[in-house]
Structure 1
Amino acid sequence: MTNLRFRRQFPYHLMILPGLLFILIYNYVPMTGIVMAFERFVPSKGMYLSPWVGWKNFEFMLNMPGIYQVIWNTVFIALMKIIAGVVVPVVITLLLYEAKSRWFKSSVQTIVYFPHFLSWIILGGIFVDILSPSTGMLNEFLGWFGIKPIYFLGDVNWFPFTLVGTETWKEFGYGTIVYLAALTGINPTLYEAATMDGAGRFKQAVHVTLPGLLPMIVLMTILSLGNVLNAGFDQVFNLYSAQVYRSGDIIDTLVYRIGMEDANYGVATAVGLFKSVVSFVMISVSYGLAYRFTSYRIF
């Protein structure tokens, strides 16, 4: 029986083999480079002949000027993105669900999904032009109301919120897919009962639709906690500059500068390993909470 079952499933094992090889080659083999976090890495000697320094790279990391500000920036920006990444898609989902025109609903969905598929290299150039304090479209619009130009990408106070706003604009449409799918699981008789009780469209949305979405909202919020140290390297790298390091520099961009610009590979690896360990703990906790509160499990 076991051999028959294996022969039947053998084609499926072959189908999954390329994916497993890809993960092995590009995700697990490079993990051997973690050893550089404990070395004073010398490129000419390689990973296995460079001098061993133990925990000194981590000590250097914790004593770096501004390291705690960078950690705070990462957590603050990531948390704001998580909150906005849940609230905005839910609001848009409720509005789309109430739209009666199928053509209008499909058109809006297509439009708001599209930015998700654009890279931050493209969007970075677009936002630099749109948010320019001198010629940007947004500042010209604000000028009609007598508001002075705002340097969104150069002001340390505005930059984190600019990151959150542009990230939310890019991803909220794609995020509505999950919530629109969750709406299909709501029993239609609940709306009929609410109508018979005299509930209008707004009360139906508040007392039927939103509670029906609540388990998915809780699940997506909990799962997002695993990304609390992922503030978005691609976005920040394409939008930030030295004048906003104080509020916009995150762990990933710091690793890039230390490793690629300063060629201090050992410290860069130590910072990256620190982030990975914390992220692993947060992901484990988030999946544990997801299973406890929503019975969600991967396997």
Structure 2
Amino acid sequence: MKQSVFHRIKRDRVFLLLLLPALLHYLLFRYVPMFGIVVSFMDYNLFKGIWHSPWVGLKYYRMFFSNPDAWNIVRNTLLLGLYKFVIAFPAPIVLAILFYEMRWKKFRRFVQSVSYLPFFLSSVVLSSIMLMLLSPSTGWVGKAMQTLGLEPINFLQKPEWFRTIYIGSDIWQQAGYGTIIFLAALAAIDPQLYEAARMDGANRWKQTLHVTIPGIVPAIVIMFILSIGGILEVPFDKAFLLGNAGNRDTADIISTYVYRIGILGGGFSYATAINLSIAVVSLTFIYTANKVSRKVGETSLW
């Protein structure tokens, strides 16, 4: 017999109460602020407020796309997002498989715990560590180069080194914690599949290739789709902390540009228009990736 909605709510009331804080968080901090996107279509004045500021239509969208600096900013963001996607995305997958294949359980737990620790460091602390390590005069990297008879390089003042530093620090911080999802997927693989592969003469490498990797493909696809949407949404904090006047040619991305325009310059309408444009592009990326995944395979977000 089909249960009523009220009966299901009463039955699952404990779980719904546990879910309530997360729902309130997204409602108050994600959905309610979306009303502010109307600012991008008006010449917003802080003292007049939303209700009395004049409407200007697509003025600020046209301003951004006709801005000669816009292409460089979008290019920096896109390249950083693509490098992060291509290089950093496979890192937790490879690390999870390595953890799964370790037979010494105590050592595996120790290495897992150590790999999780950087995730809990704030971006400020992580950036400070990178600044100290890469200092040409007092950093460990500079000291090591001097020991080898090489001239120390001021990495953070070189535009060509910024993306390498950013992606490398991102892998160090995120890869260990990112293995949790893939380890859960690995734990769900039927052990009989490995037994059958061993009976067929498959070694460890072939078992990984033909059993382990296909077993976590659904999890990889889901994370792949979610990561696609973040290509143009490179976080502000680490780019801002590692960026400076010397490496601005590559370190200046959309989020740092919006910060300068919106917070420092007071151009709230212009900054909102830029952010909304990027959000629409990111949504298009996710929708396209999900549609392709649904046609090619059986795994998708919806």
Normalised to the residue count of structure 2, the TM-score between the two structures is 0.89
Distance 1:91 1:188, change over 3 A: same
Which sits farther off after the overlay, 237-246 or 197-206? 197-206
Please report how far the alpha carbon of residue 234 of structure 1 lies from its aligned counterpart in structure 2 after TM superposition.
1.7
Cα RMSD (Å)? 2.3
The percent of aligned pairs where both chains have the same amino acid is 39
Unmatched runs of 5 consecutive residues or more in structure 2: none
Structure 1 counterpart of 2:34: 31
Structure 1 counterpart of 2:251: 248
8 Å contact from structure 1 (residues 131, 151) kept in 2: yes
Distance in 1 of aligned mates of 2:260 and 2:125: 22
Q: In the alignment, is residue 183 of structure 1 matched against residue 178 of structure 2?
A: no
Please report how far the alpha carbon of residue 79 of structure 1 lies from its aligned counterpart in structure 2 after TM superposition.
1.3
Q: In the alignment, is residue 69 of structure 1 matched against residue 72 of structure 2?
A: yes
8 Å contact from structure 1 (residues 226, 283) kept in 2: yes
Distance 1:139 1:217, change over 3 A: farther
- The one-letter code sitting in structure 1 at the alignment partner of 2:180 is I
Please report how far the alpha carbon of residue 97 of structure 1 lies from its aligned counterpart in structure 2 after TM superposition.
2.0
- Pairing 1:142-157 to 2, within 5 Å after superposition: 142-157=145-160
Q: In the alignment, is residue 49 of structure 1 matched against residue 31 of structure 2?
A: no
- The one-letter code sitting in structure 2 at the alignment partner of 1:130 is L
Structure 1 SS opposite 2:266: coil
Distance in 2 of aligned mates of 1:192 and 1:147: 53
Q: In the alignment, is residue 225 of structure 1 matched against residue 228 of structure 2?
A: yes
Q: Summarize deviations over 1:33-77 as a string: whole Å, max 9, x none.
A: 212212222212112212322211112111223211111111111
Distance in 2 of aligned mates of 1:69 and 1:17: 42
Distance in 1 of aligned mates of 2:166 and 2:72: 17
8 Å contact from structure 1 (residues 86, 217) kept in 2: no
Structure 1 counterpart of 2:270: 267
Please report how far the alpha carbon of residue 266 of structure 1 lies from its aligned counterpart in structure 2 after TM superposition.
1.4
Structure 2 counterpart of 1:140: 143
- The one-letter code sitting in structure 2 at the alignment partner of 1:181 is A
Please report how far the alpha carbon of residue 213 of structure 1 lies from its aligned counterpart in structure 2 after TM superposition.
3.3
- The one-letter code sitting in structure 2 at the alignment partner of 1:156 is P
Q: In the alignment, is residue 209 of structure 1 matched against residue 212 of structure 2?
A: yes
Distance in 1 of aligned mates of 2:18 and 2:178: 29
Structure 1 SS opposite 2:56: coil
Structure 2 SS opposite 1:242: coil
Q: Summarize deviations over 1:189-227 as a string: whole Å, max 9, x none.
A: 333344344443334333433333344333322331111
Distance in 2 of aligned mates of 1:226 and 1:236: 19
Distance in 2 of aligned mates of 1:200 and 1:129: 45
- Pairing 1:58-97 to 2, within 5 Å after superposition: 58-97=61-100
Please report how far the alpha carbon of residue 180 of structure 1 lies from its aligned counterpart in structure 2 after TM superposition.
1.5
Please report how far the alpha carbon of residue 5 of structure 1 lies from its aligned counterpart in structure 2 after TM superposition.
4.0
Distance in 1 of aligned mates of 2:221 and 2:14: 37
Distance 1:107 1:296, change over 3 A: same
8 Å contact from structure 1 (residues 219, 294) kept in 2: no
Structure 1 SS opposite 2:246: helix
Distance 1:118 1:56, change over 3 A: same
Distance 1:109 1:6, change over 3 A: closer
- The one-letter code sitting in structure 2 at the alignment partner of 1:295 is E
Structure 2 SS opposite 1:268: helix
User: Residue 98 of structure 1: which of 72, 87, 101 is its match?
Assistant: 101
- The one-letter code sitting in structure 1 at the alignment partner of 2:101 is E
Distance in 1 of aligned mates of 2:188 and 2:267: 53
Please report how far the alpha carbon of residue 14 of structure 1 lies from its aligned counterpart in structure 2 after TM superposition.
4.9
Please report how far the alpha carbon of residue 289 of structure 1 lies from its aligned counterpart in structure 2 after TM superposition.
3.5
Which sits farther off after the overlay, 195-204 or 246-255? 195-204
8 Å contact from structure 1 (residues 57, 267) kept in 2: yes
Distance 1:151 1:293, change over 3 A: farther
8 Å contact from structure 1 (residues 223, 287) kept in 2: no
Please report how far the alpha carbon of residue 271 of structure 1 lies from its aligned counterpart in structure 2 after TM superposition.
0.8
Which sits farther off after the overlay, 198-207 or 175-184? 198-207
8 Å contact from structure 2 (residues 135, 154) kept in 1: yes
Distance 1:108 1:257, change over 3 A: same
